[in-house]
Structure formats: C-alpha cells, structure tokens
Structure 1
Amino acid sequence: MPDKLEQIGQQAIEHLSLKHAAREKALPKSRTVIRHCANSIRATHRHERERANELMAQAAQLLQEMKDDLLDHQDIYYAGFAQDAQKEYAEARCLAALTQYQELPDAEELGIGWAAYLNGLAEAAGELRRYLLDQLRRGNLRDCEAYLRQMDDIYSLLISVDFPDAITSGLRRTTDVTRGILEKTRGDLTTSVVQAQLQHSIQELYQALGQDGAINAPRVE
C-alpha cells in the first residue's frame, strides 16, 4: 500500500504541475489581450483605425496561443479568464465594425465562444453610445441615427437569446444594462434632434424677418 500511495502521489503531482504551468503560461496572455483590446477601443474612438487593427491582430495571436497552451487542459481553458479575454476581443472587433459600417464578424470568424461573443457584442453597444455622443457634439445627426439603429438591432438580438446564465455567462444582466444604455441614448438623441429643428425654425424666422421686415399677422375676421 505505501508503494502504491507513493506512485499515486507522484502521478498527481506531475499532472497538477503540468496543469499549473499551463495556467501560469496562459494567464499573462489573457491580461495582455484585455489590455490590447482596451487600447484598440480607445484608438477606435480616436479614429486611429490602423492602430486599432494592429492591436486587435496582436490580441488575436495571443488568443490562439492561449488555446494551444491549454489544449490538454480544457478545465483551465474554461475556468473564466480565457473567456474574459475573448469577450474583450469581441467588443473591440464589433465596435470597429459598427463604427465603420462594416459587416459584423461572428464568433466562429473570431475563433471564440458564442457566450463570450454575445457579451462582447453587448458591451460594444455601450461603447457605441460613447462614439455616438462624440458625433452628436460634432452635429453629425445622420450618423448618430444610424448608430442608434445599430444599438437597437443589437438589443433586439440579445433579448432573443433566452438561455440560463450558466450557458450564456450572465448575458441576461448584460442585456438589461444594454437596454438602459439604449433608452438613455435614444432620449439624448431625440433631445438634440428637437433642438436642431428648433434652431432651424428660428433661423428661417430670422430670414423671413430680414427679407420682409416683419411677419404678417393673421387676419381676424
């Protein structure tokens, strides 16, 4: 029995040592992916598309390396940190596509899981609000309305995915947050459109006053 226990102990230690080494190798890559994606999103907001694409390409390479590192340790791969990195990558890629009116990539194209993809897509809608507000300050109402439609389409997709949180990694809560962001953005844009229409009407009134000298009052019979 002692000899058998010693053999079991050695096998367990060897197995867990390999698993620990794989985790320690992949974990820093996950953090780097998240950092690259955050910087890529920042570059997208600054309209630095080449820089954003470069960072996303680096993130994609690291995601593939993580997948290879943990190929024999799927329990570690699905422990959570790899999915967090995938979610951030999906957010960066989807935001870049949305702001450039490009076709959205899907999860299989990105090489990530669908739950991570959908959560990343939801967060991209939140970043799109920030992008929309920047365009709103510049007076680009037409672009803002297009971005709002994109946000609305994303929300419509998210509410159609009705599965337990254990399957979708908490997508229901993320969808609720997206709804709040969407309605707040709709209100902001509506207010700005009304103000723009009012300004236009005032300008037309001033032009009429300048041309005619006065506005003809309606006749009272």
Structure 2
Amino acid sequence: MSKPLFVTPPYVSTLLTLIEYCTWLISCPSLKFPPPCFIMPTFWAGYFCCWKSRNFLFNYNYSFIRPMLDFFCSSICFGVLRIYRFLITTFSTDKDSSPPVGYHNTPTFGAEFHHLSHPHTSQGQSLIVQNKKFTLHHSLEGRCMKISKIIEQIKSELDKKDKLREEALEITRDIIRLSGDAIKAMHRGELELAHERLEKARGLVKELKEKLREHPDLYYTGYVQNANQEFVEAVLMYHYLTDREFPSHVDLGVPSQDYILGVGDFIGELRRYFLINLMKGNLDEAESTYRFMEEVYEELMTLEYPKGLVNIRQKQDQARYTLERTLEDLTRAKVNRRVEEKLEAFLNDRS
C-alpha cells in the first residue's frame, strides 16, 4: 500500500474555520457575536469531511483530496457568514431588533445598497419620512420653492406684460391713424395739417419706445414694426413734398430695420403721388416723381440680407412691380400726349 501524499488531521477544518471567523470579527468589530447556528455547520462539515471521507468516501490512497474538501466546506460556511454580515450591515436596525441581527451602526461594507434603499439629503436627513411632504432643495440657493409659488410669480410677470402689450397696441393704432391722416392731408395739399399729425405721431413713437425699453420682446414685434413703417413712410413723403431733406432712422427714433421697410412703402406712396399728377395733367411732375422712384429703388436693391434679419426682399419685389407699372403708365401718358399734340397740329393746319 502506497504512502498517502497528504494526511489531514480532523482538527484542520476547525482551525481553518476559526481563522476565517476571527478575520471576519476583526474586519467588523461593531457587530455582536453571531448566533451558534452560523458556526456549528462549519464544525460539522469539517468533521464530516475529515472523518467520513477516510472511511466511506475515499480510498486512503486518495487522501490528498481531503484538504480540498476541508477548504471547500470551510469556504461555504464562511460564505454564509459573509452573507449574514452583508445583510446586517445593509439594513438599518434599532434596539428592538431580533438577537440574530441586533442593534448596530452601519459600517462601510454594504453602504452602497444601504444608501440606495435609504436615500439621505446632504444634511443627513432621510427623504423617506412618513406623514411629511417631500421637498427638493436647490443646490445653488439652498432653499426650496413650491411650483405654485413659481407659477404665481410668472403669472404676475405675464399679467404686467399683457397689460403693457395692450397699452402698446393702443399707441400703435394711434400712430398708424395719425400717419395715414398726414398722408391724406399731403395729397390734398394741406401740408400744415400733415405736419401737425406727424408731430403727434412722433411723440407717440417716442413714448412707445420709452414704454417698451425694458421689454425688447414686445418692442421688436410685428405691430410695433408696422406702426414705425407707417410713420417713416409719412415722414419721408412729407419731406419729399417740402424740402427733400430726409431724416435718418436715428433722427426719427426707430430701428434701422423698420426704417428700411418704411422706405420700401415710400415707393408705393410716391406712385400714388405720381398718379395724382398724371390725372391733373402734370406730366413733367409725374415724370420727375418716377425718376426719383428709380433712384430710391436702386438704393433699395443694394440691400441683400436674410429674412430673419430684415424682410427686405418682399419690399424689393413690391417696389420692382410698382416701378414697372409706373413706367407703363408714364410711357402711355407720354405717347398719348404726343398723339394729342400731332392731332392738334393737324387740325390747326387744316383750319
């Protein structure tokens, strides 16, 4: 019979278990001594492997396997102890807990799972509190604000803005009305009345700008832009009929985009003045107006900007169409005049 490679005394597994268990106690000194039910399986498994394996499980020649079984059984029992340690270090307890768990302070092991199941605030207070409302602390302000209060503040701001918008709409209506009255007075030849209307409109334009100074989202809107365009159109028409000294957008106190769009509308108003002179038979004045319209159109066509900045392309297309129609009317009027002159000369010769 050959000599065995390893001989394992019966007390080896017990010794291994004690060493492992002492290591466990050192790593977690705050826990109570575990109950015997977690220790006895280690001893039983150890004795079973060392004694039973010799007589029943294995041949004496294969006794080197016994240390492996000792280590395996001890590791299983130690794993049970580790599971027990994980459970009692993960779930918080109190002084009334059962003896297998007991009261303890949670150590670092298993802290991740503990914080997942028991979230805390930065002040160390648990968020899971019965009969208490949940509040979210702002990381910057250090205080919390209810949604209802925030909505109340926003509602107050929007109410003020809505009231201001209604006031602005009323002012823009007055500006458009005064500008239209001024243009009508110009075509009737009532320049003094037109000047009076324009001065009132100028005051409203200034008032509107001051009122919406702190609200650019309201000032740079369509209804304000339309009012400024009408005002610019009326002012340019007035100076065309009087001194031909046209004020700039800075002089009028309007945005540059609104001024440019007003220049586009000014070409349309010049056509109206052209037709009035054509009906009166003032062909020379009508032709002079057309030549001026051409100059303004050429300057207007030098502007090439996207629609998001200023919608000048639409005004350019309208001005081109207006200029073409005006040229047709002027050409037809001049041809008719020549025909009339020749017919009149022919009749005079016959008489």
TM-score by length of 1: 0.87
* Partners of 2:241 and 2:292 in 1: CA distance: 10
Give yes or no for the alignment of 1:155 onto 2:283.
Answer: no
TM-fit CA distance, 1:111: 0.9
For 1:189, the aligned partner's letter is L
1:93-104 aligned within 5 A: 93-100=235-242, 102-104=244-246
In the other structure, the counterpart of 2:154 is 12
What is residue 184 of structure 2 aligned with on the other side? 42
Higher relative contact order (CA 8 A, sep 6+): 1
CA apart distance, 1:194 = 1.5
Number of residues of Structure 1 aligned to a counterpart in Structure 2: 209
Correspondence for 2:198: 56
Contact 1:95 1:125 in 2 (8 A): no
Q: Secondary structure at the match of 1:86?
A: helix
Distance (Å, rounded) in 1 between the aligned partners of 2:292 and 2:308: 27
- Residues 63-78 of structure 1: matches in 2 within 5 Å? 63-78=205-220
Supply the distance in 1 between the matched residues of 2:329 and 2:241 (Cα, whole angstroms).
19
State the shift of 1:7 in Å. Answer: 4.2
Work out the CA distance in 1 between the residues paired with 2:245 and 2:342.
38
Contact 1:30 1:82 (C-alpha < 8 Å) held by counterparts: yes
Question: Which residues of 2 match residues 175-190 of structure 1 at below 5 A?
Answer: 175-190=316-331
Which residue in 1 is equivalent to 2:279?
A: 137
Distance 1:200 1:107 in 2: 46
Partner Cα separation in structure 2 for residue 126 and residue 208 of structure 1 = 43
1:205 equivalent in alignment to 2:346: yes
CA separation in 2, counterparts of 1:108 and 1:71? 16
Q: Distance in 1 between matches of 2:332 and 2:241?
A: 22
1:135 alignment partner, SS class: helix
Q: TM-score of the superposition, structure 2-length normalised?
A: 0.56
Give the one of 152, 168, 174 matched to 1:26. Answer: 168
- 1:116 alignment partner in structure 2: 258
Alignment of 1:85-96 (within 5 A): 85-96=227-238
Tell me the secondary structure at the aligned position of residue 145 of structure 2.
Answer: helix
Secondary structure of the equivalent of 1:166? coil
Amino acid at match of 2:343: I
For 1:164 and 1:155, how far apart are their aligned partners in 2? 19
Q: Which runs of 5+ in 1 are unaligned?
A: 211-221
Q: Distance in 1 between matches of 2:156 and 2:292?
A: 51
Q: Which has the larger radius of gyration?
A: 2
Point out the more displaced range, 52-61 or 102-111: 102-111
Query: Would you say the 8 A contact 1:98–1:150 is kept in 2?
Result: no
Residue type at the aligned position of 1:192 = A
Question: In percent, how many aligned pairs have the same letter?
Answer: 32
- Tell me if structure 2 keeps the 8 A contact 1:40–1:51: yes
Give the conservation status (yes or no) of the 8 Å contact 1:99–1:128: no
Aligned to 1:218: none
Tell me how far apart the structure 2 counterparts of residues 73 and 196 of structure 1 sit (CA, whole Å).
57
Distance 2:325 2:151 in 1: 59
Shift of 1:98: 2.3
SS in 1 for 2:309: helix
Aligned CA RMSD, in angstroms, stands at 1.8
What is the CA distance between 1:154 and its match in structure 2?
1.4
Q: Call closer, same or farther: CA 1:118–1:178 in 2, change over 3 Å.
A: same
User: What is the distance in 1 between the residues matched to 2:318 and 2:329?
Assistant: 17
Task: Give secondary structure in 1 for the equivalent of 2:233.
Answer: helix
**Structure with more of its chain in helix, by fraction:** 1
Output one character per residue of 1:115-166: Cα deviation in whole Å (capped at 9) or x when no partner: 1111111112112111111111111111111100111111111111100111
